[in-house]
Structure 1
Amino acid sequence: MMPIKFPFCGLTASTVFIGRNSRGNWVAREHNGLFGGVFVNRDQAFKYALFKNGRHLEAIVELAHEIHLDIFADPQSAGTTHVLLEEIEQLNSASVHEG
């Protein structure tokens, strides 16, 4: 997916996806995984997305399906980062259930 280009001013805004993860938290994630966050409610996810993409509401897409936070500085390392984030999530889940 390509960033949205605005012909009237030459700006480019990053598309940000918003939706819920498997735990019911709200996730905002830039389409290339360059930034994102996990939020308690939808309003906070939208505020973050607007802040990070230069206040371009038209570049925010709310998804009906599950979304996960995959953030990586180098898109080539996406697979490795995804595995690490899953491992961290599993460890966090295990520690919550234990104590």
Structure 2
Amino acid sequence: MKLVEPPSCSSPSAIVFIGRNKRGQWVAQEQNGLYGGLFVNRAQAFKYALFENGHHPETIIELARDIELDMGGAPASSGAIPAGRVA
């Protein structure tokens, strides 16, 4: 039997941003920093975002600008992902 970790998201309407960081790695991050990760390609970042947000592709936003993973958990005041630490 394969064990599957449940999604981290508590709301199906959670916005998840995906994009590349300055190092070229793919990042997926929930808008308030509740969950996120680094990925080797876009497909894996998108797959993770879908799993975590309850399979709602309409709430996944791919950014053209750099995005840095910030797992501080504090909501961004401007609604955008703040530049921060890379885990």
Q: What SS does structure 1 have at the residue aligned with 2:29?
A: strand
Tell me the percent identity: 59
- Paired with 2:49 and 2:32, the residues of 1 have a C-alpha distance of 14
- Check whether the contact 2:18–2:28 (CA below 8 A) recurs between aligned residues: yes
Cα 1:74–1:49 change in 2 (3 A) is same
- Check whether the contact 2:29–2:35 (CA below 8 A) recurs between aligned residues: yes
Q: What SS does structure 2 have at the residue aligned with 1:37?
A: strand
Q: What SS does structure 2 have at the residue aligned with 1:27?
A: strand
Tell me how large the CA RMSD over aligned residues is.
2.2
Match of 2:15 in 1: 15
Match of 1:39 in 2: 39
Match of 1:92 in 2: none
> Alpha-carbon deviation of 1:74?
4.8
Provide the TM-score with structure 2 as the length reference.
Answer: 0.72
Match of 1:65 in 2: 65
Match of 1:56 in 2: 56
Q: Who wins on radius of gyration, i.e. which is larger?
A: 1
Q: How many residues get paired?
A: 71
Q: Which runs of 5+ in 2 are unaligned?
A: 1-10, 76-81
> Alpha-carbon deviation of 1:73?
3.7
Q: Which runs of 5+ in 1 are unaligned?
A: 1-10, 89-99
Cα displacement string for residues 22-71 of structure 1 (whole angstroms, at most 9, x for unaligned residues): 00000000000010000000000000000000000000000000000011
More helix by share: 1
Provide the TM-score with structure 1 as the length reference.
Answer: 0.64
Moved over 4 A (4+): none
